[in-house]
Amino acid sequence: MKEQAKFLIIFTIMLLAGSGLVSVVPAQNSSDAYRIDEFDTSDSPVVNVETSGGFVEIIGTDGNEVVSEMFVRQGRRYLSASDTDLSDFNIIIEKNGDEVTVRAEHKGNRFFSMSRRPSVSFRVSVPYNALASGSTSGGYVAAYDLTNGIDLRTSGGSVTAENITGEIALRTSGGRINMDNLSGRIDGRTSGGSIDANQLSGVADLRTSGGSIDLNNMSAKISAHTSGGSISASLDSFDEDVDLRTSGGNIRIEIPEVENFDLELRGQRVNIELRNFSGEAERNKIKGYVGEGGPLLSARTSGGSVSVDYK
């Protein structure tokens, strides 16, 4: 029975790898690309990248050019144009005015053919100031080094955004969201994964239904909610409101030494050293203000404790 279970696990991983639903291959090189397309553009083109089964990467670069690298994979093996028929895909890689479209869509039913058909992925280099979006139904999406925001969406993989400013929208139904050095209006939502963020500034609205939230080096106005995990937050500055909520875990917060702020904490137990505090303080609830009051620190959990420490 153990050998049968082991075989089923290995078979399942191989099946998913062939479909692009999980990534078990090394990082791709340009020499592995099925095709490469280059377009001259302005320094701020509109770039839309979409595939149905592979990954999408969008990378900001210096210059006025969009370079699309398309990778075709069967299991762990990259395929070339000389040995692969992509007649089952609609492939569109084109420029119309200052808009570049990069798209691969399978013509048939992806669920019945996913163990047999290859996956198509894209790595696209764009000008730093491009207005870009990337989406896939079965793999991860990632974007790096952009100054005009990003829109990333996937149904079954992780989302990664690094070194980006502007309007930032990150969505996944079943994966993790990773954020590093983002500034602007940040909207991150996942139905089944955790959120890991470092160095956010501006305004951040973060939601997950089934995972934990880990926030480090924050200087943003933050609203972070989870239905089923813990929340950890470390603030570099505390000039804007912070609202943290979970139904099923603990909340731990580190704040800088500030003299004036509002407090609203609720949990099965609340732990904080109160200094120059005015208001109501009980074992499971604290509401009031420190000093003369100021930005609001709000943390609520139904199934755990709330702890606040000073850095």
Question: Is pLDDT at 12 greater than 70 in this prediction?
Answer: no
Mean pLDDT, residues 152-173: 96
Question: Is pLDDT at 143 greater than 90 in this prediction?
Answer: yes
The pLDDT tens digits for 271-290 are 999 999 999 999 999 999 99
Closest CA to 196 of 221, 224, 173: 224
Domain for residue 155, yes or no? no
User: What is the chain's mean pLDDT, rounded?
Assistant: 89
Beta bridge partners of 178: 160, 196
Which token pair is 131? 């207005």
Domain for residue 158, yes or no? no
The pLDDT tens digits for 171-205 are 999 899 999 999 999 999 999 899 999 999 999 99
Domain for residue 170, yes or no? no
More confident residue, 174 or 306: 306
CA distance 188 to 158: 12
Count up the domains in the chain and report the number: 2
Closest CA to 100 of 122, 121, 126: 126
CA distance 191 to 209: 5
Whether 1 and 138 share a structural domain: yes
Q: What is the pTM of this model?
A: 0.88
Grade residue 106 by pLDDT with cuts at 50, 70 and 90: confident
What percent of the chain shows pLDDT beyond 90?
75
Question: Is pLDDT at 25 greater than 70 in this prediction?
Answer: no
Which token pair is 138? 């079965």
Grade residue 116 by pLDDT with cuts at 50, 70 and 90: low
Residue-range definition of the domain harbouring residue 217: 176-311
pLDDT (0 to 100) of residue 248? 83
Whether 116 and 188 share a structural domain: no
For 298, how many CA atoms within 13 A lie in the half-sphere containing its CB?
13
